[in-house]
Structure 1
């Protein structure tokens, strides 16, 4: 956790910071909006750089031998394209998550668990500002028993 984690109120009740209206624990905490905006800039920059690198790789691949099977560089280019493509897809997905969090902020529903409806603790939002679930619900979602 960064410096923002230590910014609880004077009474030490970090979870109560900014609790207002229909929003969650962080619905009115300007630090969380700043974290979301910073995350959007970082992720958008990363996605853009990955797209640029991927485009350069495609251009270099077009100018090389098209026969990957017999070209010693072909396998390397294919592997790199696959890796960069996966990273770019992940960055676009993360950007969508951040944009959705900013929309929830604007709608007044930021910081509310989409599974149980309880407020998401500020500490979780400080670590993952675009979280949509509280820790117990996120844990249950990722550790479902086999059917």
Structure 2
């Protein structure tokens, strides 16, 4: 996106390109969630079949850790899916590419790396994590 187009509404071609990218990332994230769900269910199922100490798998890793790790990855993927949905809504409202905090344009480089970003770098770094 050029500097001038960031200061105005997206052109139809830019809007279509952004939508295509967001939809593709949305589909990929849904696939990731499905795979993580299968992995989580596999961990739970394998532990249900054997009487194993939940804290220590004979192979060395903690099964509780594995479950927690996959659960954290699932939560992160679901949050990303929500962010992509919100980005698509901003695109429909002609708010895509504007910082939700200060209203300034979000640099194209940031949107290239994080297409669901709703803040500019300055406002994102000022937010407490």
TM-score by length of 1: 0.74
Which of 17, 22, 36 in structure 2 is aligned with 1:36? 22
Which of 69, 91, 99 in structure 1 is aligned with 2:85? 99
Number of aligned residue pairs: 127
Could you say which structure has the greater relative contact order, defined with CA pairs below 8 angstroms and 6 or more residues apart? 1
Flag as ranges the 4+ runs of structure 1 deviating above 6 A: none
Structure 1: runs of 5 or more not aligned: 1-7, 9-13
Structure 2: runs of 5 or more not aligned: none
TM-score by length of 2: 0.83
Change (3 A) 1:132 1:123: same
Change (3 A) 1:59 1:70: closer
Q: CA RMSD in A?
A: 2.5
Which of 77, 80, 87 in structure 1 is aligned with 2:66? 80
Could you tell me which residue of structure 1 aligns to residue 45 of structure 2?
A: 59
Deviation at 1:74, TM superposition (A): 8.8
Larger Rg: 1
Change (3 A) 1:118 1:32: same
